[in-house]
Amino acid sequence: MKLYEMTACEAAAALRKKEVTSQELTESVLERISGVEGIIKGFITILESEKILQEAKKIDKLLAEGKKLSPLAGIPMALKDNICTQGIPTTYASKMLENYRPSYDAHVTEKLKEAGTVLMGKANMDEFAMGSSTERSFFHPTRNPWDISRVPGGSSGGSAALVAADEIFFSLGSDTGGSVRQPASMCGVVGLKPTYGLVSRYGLAALAPSLDQVGPLSKDVRDCAMVLDIIAGHDPRDSTSAKSKDNYVDYLGREVKGFKIGFPKEFFGEGLEEPVKKVIMEALAKSEQLGAEVDEISLPKTPYVLPCYHLVVSAEISSALARYDGVRYGFRAREGDTLSELYRQTRSRGFGSEVKKRIILGTHVLRTEHYDDYYWKALKVRTLIKQDFEKVFRDYDLIATPTSPTTAFKLGAKNDDPQTVHSRDNYTRAANLTGIPAISIPCGFVEGLPVGLQIMGRPFEEGRMLQFCYALEDMLGVKGYKPEISVEGGH
Amino acid sequence: MSFEYEVVIGLETHVELLTESKIFCACPNRFGEAPNTNVCPVCLGLPGSLPIFNENVLKLALEAALALNCTIAHYSKFDRKNYFYPDLPKAYQISQHDRPLARDGYLELVKDGKLIRKVRIERLHLEEDAGKLMHDEAGERSYVDYNRSGVPLIEIVTAPDIHSPEEAHLFLESLRKTLLYTGVSDCKMEEGSLRCDANISLRPAGTKSLGRKVEIKNMNSFRAVQRGLEYEVGRQKEILKAGGTVALETRRWSEEDGATIEMRSKEEDEHDYLFFPEPDLPPLILSEEFIGAVKSKLPELPVDRYFRLMEEQGISPYQAEIITSSREMADFFEETLKIFPQPQTVSNWLLGDVSGLLNSMGKEIDEVAFTPQHFAALLELLAAGTLSGRLAKDVLEESFQSGRHPKEIVQKKGLVQISDEQELLRIVDEVIEDTPNAVNDYFAGNKKAVGFLMGQVMKRTKGQANPQLATKLLQKKLKQLEK
Amino acid sequence: MLDLTEEEKTLYREQIDLILEYSRLFEELELEDVEPTINVWQLKNVLREDRAVSSDSAFLHNVLQEAPDQEEGYFLVPLIID
């Protein structure tokens, strides 16, 4: 077994036992990157090998000196390119910030630095995290390691593909409507969107601030818990940051007998591909074997999730992205000698099509004459959707659904079909609207492509959620399957 | 047909709050630093930065709102006001739209001892200041400095209750005084810590309808507010007299031209700010107890103090106005009265010599070492006859400069008034003996010679002779000699 | 502050209309007495102590270096005529 094939936890254990060094782990990962990155294209920026190895050696030295470091010290990882890294390009996969180097680190960047993890580079994504295929990156699309003719999902497609391809041990993505879970599902890795407020958003470029959360993508559930342990916790720089966190790894291995799992019938209807459904139902059956009680439930407000999500998100986007105006940082169009021309040219040429569309929609729904009909109503519908979930969580510990109605689709296949683009990640959006934690774990394959099971839990109960997923992961027996990356690809 | 118009003015005032740090970040809230040095990711609007609300801003804004008799909202929230301008780094200003911190207050305007107007305050809300722009016309570029970006502001909006430019001036003076009393702002219009825009219209006297409103901006001093509005009253009157209609527009006061100049029409100005609730900041939910606690710590406000001092101390409206012009002055007055309870004397000296000295030194009463204790001691020495009026002025000046206690100055310099009759008689005799010419002049009928002789007496006593007693003794002696 | 091509306008209108059409679904719901959800956990009064901290000079330097146009510590834009 190659070093890069290990999970983060296995690598960390080997480090502690002095079987390997961080330098060796890093070299192994660099070798893997040089082997497959040309095909996968999961990075936007890869740091210089010398600098990365320097970091690794520094950690080795500290470990040799017996310094008490976090469990993930010395482990190579990557960050989605909308997470600020001081002095390291953070492009948001946009022409607008093609050459932007932030002057400060995001909270999660700081946390992972403090923990001694080794940053390899910045992961590809859909421009400004808008999209579900990573094809909307200004730079290049990323390919799905399971089939390079297919997309990795999105918007955190780079973060997911890099983990699936063993180019890194874990990564961080961001999730506003499923952007961690959907690519995790399509790439066969674990992806968690924590409870809103559990992980500080400081230094994450806002898409829709009332929904955005940073979350880990990892090779298994244990790694996910380990990363969450590092990045969760109060940050006074984020007014929506929660006061406390749990110790997530502690939950792993505990008994899950008696857990009550609901599967909402609204998530198993039209649009869900039959083979995917079959895999999900099998996973639910395995849950019962673990001693969990599995019942069909109803979330009657599900049909309203999609319009509610789009109205809230686009309104927030139009405001969050207004600051990219060519004055303080990023792209400035050379044409235009008046201020108004500077703004128009910069924004029209710096933003891609999807971004512009959402900005236009957002400004439309926020106009005084439309506000009450669209945005304000959407906020009220959001309350009803939240009450829907609260009601279910009075009786059930967890809700299980497919993460995505389909497996990974072909590159270029569905991009301009608004109907499918908009309904595709409909299963993931409710968790963002309601703030609850949600995770996608690999639960099987359809024609060689991974299928993800989404588990949603009560607010701030990531611990119990991970406890269940850890047990189920073991029962499913999917873990450890690796894609064979080949130039031919295709199924 | 006569043209009698009533002037209707409403004011929108922005006041910077006196905090250590900015409203949503820890950058220092300081004026006059090198460009773009008091900035951080938050007030520069860098991607990923988030606001965190300064608790002192809440406290100061509540004090201001309560001092303006507002009702405090138990629930208020922040909203984004979206528009593009280079001084606005996020391209939205965090402000308060439909749920402001406070509403429905008033400010009382007083003049000559009477309440002349109660100006209603429609709302008071929190917001962040924008950066500053400078224009280089020759170089065809504008320069942006974000030091001011994120400085805490309150915006105070009045009802259209002001009916003349003088009243607008008086409102601003009263507002300034009230805010200075509560200590929430330094209210310096020249430095921009108090800024004021006005809406002004004219309507036929006696009617209730509102005329067509013109907004006036760029009035950067109290005088400019009055002059700008006076100009505008004249301009609008002429239009109406000629049978025209006033255009709905925004105009700019130009100090150089002494006129208001059209900036843009209201139609152009009908910008939709796309307000929506700020998702990055939770709302403010304030309990009655919390509001009560802030209220209980408010100082007595200038209008109340003005009326109380007139009533309790019997001082004139003019005296009360000067004394209550600042909280420090009024405190000084009342502290002095606690030791030396003669309001007229204290008031006369305070408005006269004390104010004179302060003016010549360019200082405020709380910036000098002279204390109410010093002041009271001085007035006691004067009342006891220990010091003459002239000596008292010297001692006052000395105490102002050195901060030493008047009694100490008097003792050190031996500056005690000579009221001893025997002692004074001896000196009078000496003077008469030494200046026979003056005495002869007096006998020859030149009564003015007495002045010269008195001068000699004062000179020989280094000014310490009790002047009344010395004059009496001198005249008595001369009359004796004449006989 | 966006200039759109005719092609973009047509494409966006289609897609935007679709989403607005979706929101017609809300008409089925009784929303009169429903409180809006602005932040999911009903947080309130999140306050910071009033303490000033200055940014270090490296930060100030780097920030200006990122500006498309800057001079003598200022960010530059085309002349604004009021």
Closest approach of chain B CAs to the CA of A383, in angstroms?
Answer: 15
Residue A271 burial by CB count (10 A; 0-12/13-18/19+): exposed, middle or buried?
middle
Closest-approach residue (CA) in chain A for C76: A327
User: Nearest-CA neighbor of A81 among A20, A15, A34, A125?
Assistant: A125
B2 three-class SS? coil
- Spatial distance between the Cα atoms of C58 and C42, rounded to a whole number of angstroms: 38
Best of A101, A329, A337, A456 to substitute, by most chain C Cβ atoms within 10 angstroms, is: A329
Do B352 and B220 share a domain, yes or no? no
β-sheet bridge partners, residue A213: A175
β-sheet bridge partners, residue B74: none
Do B190 and B237 share a domain, yes or no? yes
Q: Is A329 on the interface with B (CB under 8 A)?
A: yes
Using pLDDT thresholds of 50, 70 and 90, give the confidence band for residue B267.
Answer: low
Domain containing B17 equals 5-292
Domain containing C16 equals 1-30
Do B139 and B221 share a domain, yes or no? yes
Do B114 and B155 share a domain, yes or no? yes
Q: Is A334 on the interface with B (CB under 8 A)?
A: no
- Give chain A's residues under pLDDT 50: 416, 421, 489-491
Strands of the sheet containing A260-264, edge to edge, are A43-46, A118-123, A76-80, A170-175, A213-218, A190-193, A438-446, A449-457, A398-402, A260-264, A293-297
User: Nearest-CA neighbor of A462 among A208, A299, A218, A224?
Assistant: A224
Do B134 and B233 share a domain, yes or no? yes
**What string of H, E and C letters represents the secondary structure of A350-397?**
HCCHHHHHHHHHHHHHHCHHHHHHHHHHHHHHHHHHHHHHHHHHHHCC
Using pLDDT thresholds of 50, 70 and 90, give the confidence band for residue B465.
Answer: confident
User: Which residues have a Cβ under 8 Å from the Cβ of B114 and sit 6 or more positions away?
Assistant: none
Q: Is B80 on the interface with A (CB under 8 A)?
A: yes
Q: Which fold has domain A3-298+389-476?
A: Amidase signature (AS) enzymes (3.90.1300)
Contact between chains at B89 and A328 (C-beta distance less than 8 A): yes
β-sheet bridge partners, residue C47: B53
Domain segments of chain A as ranges:
3-298+389-476
Using pLDDT thresholds of 50, 70 and 90, give the confidence band for residue B1.
Answer: very low
Contact between A252 and A386 (Cβ < 8 Å): no
User: Which residues have a Cβ under 8 Å from the Cβ of A64 and sit 6 or more positions away?
Assistant: none
Q: For C2, which of A242, A307, A360 is closest by C-beta distance? A: A360
Contact between chains at A348 and C38 (C-beta distance less than 8 A): no
Do B336 and B280 share a domain, yes or no? no
User: Which residues have a Cβ under 8 Å from the Cβ of A246 and sit 6 or more positions away?
Assistant: A232, A460, A462, A463
Q: Is the pLDDT of residue C18 over 90?
A: no
Q: For A103, which of B46, B89, B282 is closest by C-beta distance? A: B46
pLDDT digits (tens, 9 = 90+) for C23-68: 899 999 999 999 999 999 999 999 999 999 999 999 999 999 999 9
Closest-approach residue (CA) in chain B for C45: B284
Contact between A383 and A390 (Cβ < 8 Å): no
Best of A108, A319, A345 to substitute, by most chain B Cβ atoms within 10 angstroms, is: A319
- Chain C touching partners, 3 or more CB pairs below 8 A: A, B
Q: Determine, yes or no, domain membership for C56.
A: no
pLDDT at residue B3, rounded to an integer: 64
A47 three-class SS? coil
Chain A residue numbers touching B276 (CB-CB < 8 A)? 315, 319, 366, 371, 375
Do B101 and B207 share a domain, yes or no? yes
pLDDT at residue A276, rounded to an integer: 97
Do B344 and B224 share a domain, yes or no? no
Closest approach of chain A CAs to the CA of C16, in angstroms?
Answer: 6
pLDDT digits (tens, 9 = 90+) for B224-243: 999 999 999 999 999 988 88
Closest-approach residue (CA) in chain B for A238: B50
| Interface A:B, Cβ pairs < 8 A | 99
- Spatial distance between the Cα atoms of B232 and B236, rounded to a whole number of angstroms: 6
Contact between A126 and A354 (Cβ < 8 Å): yes
What's the average model confidence in pLDDT over B242-246?
Answer: 88
Domain boundary among B392, B413, B434: B413
Query: How far lies B325's CA from each of B182, B231, B328, B365, C74, in Å?
Result: 13, 28, 9, 11, 40
Q: Is the pLDDT of residue B216 over 90?
A: yes
Domain boundary among B243, B275, B292: B292
pLDDT at residue A490, rounded to an integer: 44
Contact between A318 and A358 (Cβ < 8 Å): yes
Percent of chain B with pLDDT over 70: 98
Best of B36, B46, B53 to substitute, by most chain A Cβ atoms within 10 angstroms, is: B46
- Check if A80 is active-site: yes
- Phi and psi, residue A293, nearest 5°: -95, 120
Best of B44, B148, B149 to substitute, by most chain C Cβ atoms within 10 angstroms, is: B44
- The complex's ipTM works out to 0.95
Q: For A328, which of C2, C25, C75 is closest by C-beta distance? A: C75
| Interface A:C, Cβ pairs < 8 A | 148
- Phi and psi, residue A43, nearest 5°: -100, 150
Name the catalytic one among A80, A122, A193, A245. Answer: A80
- Check if A179 is active-site: yes
Chain C residue numbers touching B58 (CB-CB < 8 A)? 47
Closest approach of chain A CAs to the CA of C47, in angstroms?
Answer: 8
Name the catalytic one among A28, A137, A155, A185. Answer: A155
Do B194 and B87 share a domain, yes or no? yes
Q: Provide the 10 A C-beta neighbour count for residue B106.
A: 16
pLDDT digits (tens, 9 = 90+) for B135-182: 987 878 999 999 999 999 999 999 999 999 999 999 999 999 999 999
CA A370 to chain centre: 32
- Spatial distance between the Cα atoms of B154 and B62, rounded to a whole number of angstroms: 10
Do B328 and B400 share a domain, yes or no? yes
How many structural domains compose chain B? 3
Query: How far lies A2's CA from each of A5, A28, A31, A57, B412, in Å?
Result: 5, 8, 10, 20, 95
pLDDT at residue A488, rounded to an integer: 55
Domain boundary among B245, B275, B292: B292
How many structural domains compose chain C? 1
**Ramachandran bin of B316, using left for φ above 0, alpha for ψ from -120 to 50, beta for the remaining angles:** beta
Could you tell me the pTM of the whole model?
0.92
Chain B residue numbers touching C76 (CB-CB < 8 A)? 141-144
Q: Provide the 10 A C-beta neighbour count for residue A475.
A: 15
